[in-house]
Amino acid sequence: MRRLLPLATALLLLATPATATATATTDADAGASKGQPTVIGTIPTGPNTRMVAFTPDYELAYVANGGSDDVSVIDPRRRTEVTRISVGKFPYGVVFDRTGRFVYVSNRDSNEVSVIDTTTRTVVKTIPVGTAPRLGALKPDGSEVWISSTASNAVSVIDTRTRTVTHTIPVGTAPRGIAFTHGGRHAYVADSDSDTLSVVDTATHTKIATIPVGDEPRGVLITPDGRTAYVSNALGGTISVIDVRTRTVTATIAVGRTPRGITLAAGGRIAYVVNSGSNSVSTFDTRTNKVLGEVPVGTDPHWSAPGPGNRYILVANSGSSTISIVTLHR
């Protein structure tokens, strides 16, 4: 059964950071308790939700509804759906520009990206990209949006000024998640069907290295200090821990079934993992790689987005067409 907290407690959790991430604890049981994830709310969305992303000011979040060819705009504090915006066929990924004025939605089944003006909440441009586009990421300097195309085995690079594709970068087989290193010098791309990470030089737009990881990598997270990358391996049920400097796997963490989204909690000491096969979110300690806890969420959860100050996350539940609000136990 999903664990719910009273509304007053839930609002407090949304307003203040979780203390578990602020200090280390020497007691193993206390550490596990503080690292336990907790569901504090649920928001209904459209059918077959995939990706969720906050606006840069964290006032709203946009959710790709693959089953209804539209995007839900939700208010996380009021826990309501504000409106829906029609886009292409089977929207999947959601990426905001730096200002929050425009959002790029990758449409898996129409091989295009819809650009939404968040002021008017209308599609102002449609950009053809590779076949079966999935996930995307904004380059740290804001100049480009990168979109993975699983059936093209490539990444499409969109110039945010001209809103046109300027480069198509061959990577591994069936790319999914994309993450940039600190400063944006390199991009790491999860190649789900070749069980590798492609390392791409963002200046030359060429692949420069390949890192073997676990079975069917999906999500990629690089820590803010740029030292460590985490990769969720869907079929392996594991997280690969990678030293960014040496580009080698240093540890493997067993989590739930079919892990996808990875998000850091406040302070970076604890990471959340969305397990679509287990219908849950688990947490692990980023220093010890120890799993701390797990909580049930909706059905078939896919991806997550960190809230303000990383004090909580939103989890998109594809099977139950909802968003779960998850924080750490206090």
Q: What is the pLDDT of residues 318-329, one digit of tens each?
A: 999 999 999 998
10-residue mean pLDDT profile of the chain (330 residues): values are: 38 38 35 80 96 97 98 97 98 97 98 98 98 98 98 98 98 98 95 98 98 98 96 97 97 98 96 98 97 97 97 97 93
CA distances from residue 226 to 61, 141, 233, 243, 245 in whole angstroms, order as listed = 26, 15, 21, 9, 9
What's the CA gap between 328 and 243, in Å, rounded? 26
Q: What is the pLDDT of residue 34?
A: 78
Residue showing tokens 């949304």: 14
Nearest-Å Rg of the Cα atoms of the chain is 18
Q: What is the pLDDT of residue 329?
A: 85
**What is the pTM (predicted TM-score) of this model?**
0.89
Q: What is the pLDDT of residue 330?
A: 72
The residues, ordered by sequence, that sit 6+ positions from 119 with a Cβ below 8 Å of its Cβ are 101
279 secondary structure, DSSP code: T
* Torsion sign (Cα): 69, 66, 144, 204: negative
Tens digit of each residue's pLDDT (9 = 90 or more) over 266-281: 999 999 999 999 999 9
What's the CA gap between 42 and 7, in Å, rounded? 12
What's the CA gap between 155 and 325, in Å, rounded? 31
Q: What is the pLDDT of residue 33?
A: 63
Average pLDDT of the chain is 91
Q: What is the pLDDT of residue 182?
A: 87
For residues 44-75, one letter each, b for 16 or more C-beta atoms within 10 angstroms of the residue's C-beta and e for the rest, the string is: ebbebbbbbbbbeeeebbbbbbbebbbbbbbe
Q: How far is CA 205 from the centre of its chain?
A: 23
What's the CA gap between 113 and 137, in Å, rounded? 13
What's the CA gap between 260 and 327, in Å, rounded? 18
Burial status of residue 204 (CB atoms within 10 A of its CB: 0-12, 13-18, 19 or more):
exposed
Q: Is 79 in contact with 59 (CB distance < 8 Å)?
A: no
